[in-house]
Amino acid sequence: MLSRRSDALATAIVLFVTPAFAHPKLVASTPTANATVPAPAMLSLSFSEKLVPRFTSATVTMTSMPGMAMDKPMAVGAVAPAFGHDGKTLTLKPAHMLTPGAYRVEWHAVAADTHRTSGAFAFQVK
Amino acid sequence: MDDPLIVAVRLGLYLTIGAVFGISLFALYGLPPAGARAFPLRAIVGFGAGVGSGLSALGFCALAAGMAATPLAELKADDLRAMVGMDGIGQAWEARTLALAALVALAPLVRSRRANAWAGTLFGAVALGSLAWNGHGAATEGQFGNVHLVADIAHLLAAGAWLGALGVLGLLLAKSRRGTTAEGVAAAHRALEGFSVAGTIIVGTIVASGVVNTWLLVGPDHVRGLADTLYGRLLIAKLALFFGMVVIASINRYRLTPALAAATHDPRGALDALLRSVAVETTTAIVILALVAWLGTLMPPSAIGS
């Protein structure tokens, strides 16, 4: 009886507590990581936590284009970051239509727990 | 260690603000009049609050620099503005800054010892309690968020009360050891007696709030693997040191303090023993606070793998 009650309590506590400590993690993105897609008008990154806009951003670089060797990745000009209503989504609008090739998105994010996390993913435009 | 500067600043905040609160509180409940005259409360509170505000500002900038990933020297005003605007941590910093500024401003103005003790206790409690938002206490969301914050604040206040009492007792013992007047020894003895009940309440509060915090931060599922993580090993070291402090405190209370009362002719031996024991207890307390300062920058086990 007692053990069942404490099990239930432990479960309740773990349920309530576990998500809150997490650093912001990328849970989904458009385009999805490693996907090949038509040129997107908008990139969106969904995180697990509410973000602090000042300390959260992302950059997009082109890492290769078909039939042409690239010495180094090329930054995609003027991506304006914006945040969704829930505060958990970062959207980037490329200034120009993305031309076919491989791209890499590098992000860094800070949530209420004050830890800075970062990551990257790639996608292809066909 | 992620950032030694942040850990050092956190330790400095615990020490200075904890001492301001604990010493003022002790002056209210445990300091006999003879001891109070020998004790420069006003200077200690004013100075402690001044150093505390400097450290608080530095810590705030260091944290903002860490989040912006820029060197401290290149921190922008907008970074700080964003920090102040952050829920919880921003308001806590504002409250701490105001409380410490009030103490710095009041110290030269207020001459009454009692008024200073009250100011140091109340504003000190605000400043010390606000440090809960710097740690993991504020990171729990949902129904248990408030439980965790309250437990963290209780833990901080009780620890500050203990630290402050040790500081006062150490100073009184050192003073009476030097002069060894009957009055000084009696004052030291009364202060030690005065701490005996408070000490029990403090230890009880620390244990109870510590259990709640450990439950929330470590979690029942992670107890078995505690020694596998750095966080767990530091926590185990902290608990062992805390247990040591309780043992030393018991020896003080049940053996050394009665021995001082009994040694009416030559109290020097009893004073030396007490002074040594309070010094060891204080050193242990500082090491524990250093571990706490470090622990607060690490991921607790309940967060890993979530």
Query: Is the pLDDT assigned to residue A12 strictly greater than 50?
Result: no
What amino acid occupies position B100?
A: L
What totals of helices (H) and strands (E) does chain B contain, helices first?
11, 0
**Mean pLDDT computed over A69-81:** 76
B89 to chain A: which residues are within 8 Å by CB?
A: 112, 114
A83 to chain B: which residues are within 8 Å by CB?
A: none
In angstroms, how far is the first alpha carbon of chain B from the final one?
A: 22
Query: Is the pLDDT assigned to residue A82 strictly greater than 80?
Result: yes
ipTM above 0.90 for this complex = no
Kindly report the average pLDDT of chain A as a whole number.
Answer: 81
E strand spans, A1-126: 26-30, 36-37, 43-47, 57-64, 74-75, 80-83, 89-93, 101-110, 116-125
For chain A, the 3-state helix, strand and coil shares in percent, each to the nearest 5, are 20, 45, 40
Contact at CB, B140 and A20, closer than 8 angstroms: yes
B303 reaches A (C-beta below 8 A): yes
Q: Which residues are A37's β-sheet partners?
A: A125
Query: Is the pLDDT assigned to residue A16 strictly greater than 80?
Result: no
Q: Which pLDDT tens digit goes with each residue over A26-70?
A: 999 999 999 999 999 899 999 988 888 899 999 999 998 887 777
User: How far apart (Å, rounded) are the C-alpha atoms in residues B295 and A115?
Assistant: 14
Task: Give the Cβ contact number of residue B295 at 10 Å.
Answer: 21
* pLDDT tens series, chain B, 306 aa: 457 888 899 999 999 999 999 999 999 998 877 777 777 899 999 999 999 999 999 989 988 888 888 888 888 999 999 888 887 888 899 999 999 999 999 988 988 888 999 999 999 999 999 998 876 656 566 667 778 888 989 999 999 999 999 999 998 888 888 877 777 888 888 889 888 889 999 999 999 999 888 888 777 777 777 888 888 899 999 999 999 999 999 998 888 988 888 887 788 888 889 999 999 999 999 999 999 988 888 877 776 643
Smallest CA–CA separation between A18 and chain B, in Å? 6
Chain B stretch 208-237, residues whose beta carbon is closer than 8 A to a beta carbon of chain A: 215-216, 219-221
CA angle B102, B105, B109 (to 5 degrees): 120
- Considering only alpha carbons, which residue of chain A is nearest residue B89? A112
Smallest CA–CA separation between B288 and chain A, in Å? 23
**Taken in order B74, B76, B79, B80, is the CA torsion positive or negative?**
positive
B82 phi and psi angles, rounded to 5 deg: -65, -35
A99 phi and psi angles, rounded to 5 deg: -80, 160
Q: How far is CA B183 from the centre of its chain?
A: 30
pLDDT value at residue B25: 95
Which residue from B63, B78, B221 is facing A114, i.e. has the nearest CB? Answer: B63
pLDDT value at residue A105: 93
| Residue A114 · residue B60 · CB < 8 Å | no
Q: Are strands A101-110 and A57-64 parallel, antiparallel or unpaired?
A: antiparallel
User: How far apart (Å, rounded) are the C-alpha atoms in residues A34 and B236?
Assistant: 43
Element (H, E) at A104: strand A101-110
| Residue B65 · residue B234 · CB < 8 Å | no
DSSP B43-66: HHHHHHHHHHHHHHHHHHHHHHHH
Smallest CA–CA separation between A13 and chain B, in Å? 7
pTM of the model: 0.83
Query: Is the pLDDT assigned to residue A79 strictly greater than 80?
Result: no
CA angle B152, B158, B161 (to 5 degrees): 140
Contact at CB, B86 and A21, closer than 8 angstroms: no
Beta carbon pairs, A and B, within 8 Å? 77
